[in-house]
Chain A
Amino acid sequence: MKAGLPLLVAGALVMSAASAQSGNLNVPATIQAGAAFSIQCGGSGKATLYIVGPSQMIKRDVQLGEAVSFPAGSVGNAGHYVVFLSSAAGNESGALDVLPAEKPADLTFIAKPSRLPVSLQGAITGAAYVFDSYRNLITKPQSVSFELSNPSSPTQTHTVQTRNGAAWTQMDSSKHEGKDQFIARIGAVTSTRIVNQVPGDPCSLKMNAKSEGGKIQLQTDPVRDCSGNAVPDGTIVTFTESYNDTRSTVDVPLKRGVATIAMPAHRGATISVASGVVLGNQIRWDQ
């Protein structure tokens, strides 16, 4: 409904303005969004001025022969506006292009993924969209700086020029787990996202066995990935004991960095350990 009225008014005025002969309407060709501007209306008497644009319409009663001033902030949405002057003498029209303001005021920053394993090249992507204070996309090229920082790794910085209002980049995940800050910056405007870098697959999975209460007590060494990060608790470690054509299997979650389980003691049994698709060592139980 809001858009319907301006369109209706514009349609009616375009039809009547087509026949207007006088050239007393002086409209600036372009202005910046939010800037103050004025329109000169020649002639004498009273008239009504309409400015119709995207999502906005302004109606103003004017005295012909005077400049009509619009204060800063009157027109905020960038786009093509049509200006109509309706008076007893007839209708006139002009056009006004409102451009985005040059000064960036806001950044929309999309960072993906929010969680990924360490030591992956080009796995983090960031895309930034630059807006002015009226939420118009600034299409004029601007320099956007992207920073990925982690207390234990060197900061990665890329500076990218926007194209059609957008800039994007790719970053590597660092070797150390933790919550990295991914910042997009343009001038004083910043937007921050958190990228959670988590340990990768276990590396050099190793278990030890000892006899305890008639059972085999199995325990892994602290489980780490290939960069030395501790694999998080809850990760499943599978112990498999094979003996005389039978097997026992148990999926054990890591607790405090290690997986522990007691399994039946069978002389000659072979015990193996794995986590996901990563295999660890094997133990032959001869006691």
Chain B
Amino acid sequence: MNKGPFLAVLLAAATIALVAIGTIFPPASVAAYSSGGHFSGSASTPEGAVQGLGEEIRAKAWDRAYASLANKAEFTRAQFQRDLTSAYPDLLTYATLDTFEVQPQHATATDASVQLKMQWSTVVGPSTSTRDLHVVKNGNDWQVEWPIRKTPIVPPQVVPVNYLRWDVIYRTAGDDWGAQDVEAPHVRIVNMHPVQRAEGLVLLGELLNEDVVPAYVSVAATLVSKDQKPIETEASFDKISHQLLPKQITPFLIRFPNVSLSEVGSVRMTPFSTLVSASADPVIEIENEKLNPAPDASLTGQLTNQSGQIANVAHVLGTFYDKSGQVVWVGDQYVDHALLPQTPVAFNIHIPEDLARKVSSERTVVSTFSFGGSE
């Protein structure tokens, strides 16, 4: 007996039933979004008010989120949105709020302090931002006072730039086989140190561009066992500054999950470099670098763009040394705000607690990316 028609009817009926259930009993957030109402977070408690605001931000319902604030007279809706998504293209412009946590700090009958920890999904991975919110009681409801951070706006202007740029012309297929090609940049590993971590082996080091031309660089490493057999090959991926100007040094970090240092007889390092068209600007100053001890050990500071060109994404790499000058860790952070000319932006690189005690000094480098082709 052919059961095909019966199965088709059964599937159609099940689909219609599920659509009907979804329409009649939608999830609270969807219902609120579609009806123009508020999310499920009840404004009858401080946490509920912050929860509701978080849901509105996650749904990018900027009008409703702005309307729910107690201090909206202090700024415009556009300023509120720019505070969360940036006025200039940067990591947050293309990010979505993935999750958020609401943590009550203290409360009285009329006001409360609540921390909103937002986990954004960006193109380079998760980015966390935290806001300490003041919540006030207004009648029977609680409302959030948003701590607005007004994005500085660069006034329209023409900035004359006299910057260096390198371009590359390679040999062509028609050249004689003995004809020269442009030489790849000469790079050198000036420091390398393996560190055993709970999650596996980590190789740390520094790479120098010792040439007079810019280089695109990366580092790969192959672990070789004591009986001379290759164990695993990994590369630095984004734990390195890939573009090095002449005489510039970058740290690198290569992870080997689930490999123990005791298994390794030797390490074969393979630095890679190729010529790349590049410009010497923008120049980024790293100010007020400070090593903060445990708990929450970190390297903090500010980046200041000394050039006229806006740097949309900045990647900060910190190299941490012990008293003998040995590299003990390499940490990094993508700064989620664009670097505007002469406008400091803070960064914070986490240092593992167990290594923080060993850290005696540090060296910070920053690489920037500007939308529109130049780097």
Contacts and interface: CB of A to CB of B under 8 A. Distances in A.
Interface of A: 108-111, 113-116, 129, 191, 193-194, 198-199, 201-202, 231-237, 245-253, 255, 261, 263-264, 275-278
A241 B176 CA distance: 52
B291 A245 contact: yes
Contacts of B180: 111, 114, 193-194
A253 B181 CA distance: 26
Interface stretch (B25-33, B192-200, B277-285): B277-285
B145 to A, nearest CB: 33
State the majority secondary structure of interface residues on A.
strand
Nearest to A107: B178
Contact of B181 (A109, A114, A199, A202): A114
Contact of B208 (A199, A231, A277): A277
A108 B177 contact: yes
Nearest to B363: A249
State the majority secondary structure of interface residues on B.
loop
Q: List 7 tightest A-B contacts by C-beta distance, closest first.
A: A276-B247, A253-B280, A250-B285, A108-B178, A235-B246, A236-B248, A247-B289
Contacts of A250: 283-286, 306
Interface of B: 162, 164, 166, 176-178, 180-183, 190, 208-214, 245-249, 280-281, 283-291, 301, 306, 362-365
A111 to B, nearest CB: 6
Contacts of A110: 178
A261 B306 contact: yes
Given A108-B177, A249-B364, A236 B164 contact: no
Contact of A248 (B177, B247, B288): B288
Contacts, number: 104
B311 to A, nearest CB: 13
Contacts of B182: 114-115
A275 B245 CA distance: 11
Given A110-B178, A114-B183, A234-B245, A251 B164 contact: no
A234 B164 contact: yes
30 contacts: A108-B177, A111-B180, A114-B180, A114-B181, A115-B182, A115-B183, A115-B211, A129-B178, A194-B180, A201-B210, A201-B247, A232-B212, A232-B246, A233-B164, A233-B280, A234-B166, A234-B245, A236-B246, A247-B289, A248-B286, A248-B289, A250-B285, A251-B284, A253-B283, A255-B164, A255-B280, A261-B285, A264-B287, A276-B209, A277-B190
Nearest to A111: B180
A54 to B, nearest CB: 20
Most B CB contacts (10 A, CB to CB) among A199, A201, A245, A247 go to: A247
Contacts of B287: 248, 264
A203 B164 CA distance: 23
A236 B212 CA distance: 10
A276 B208 contact: yes
A67 to B, nearest CB: 40
A253 B288 contact: no
Contacts of A278: 247
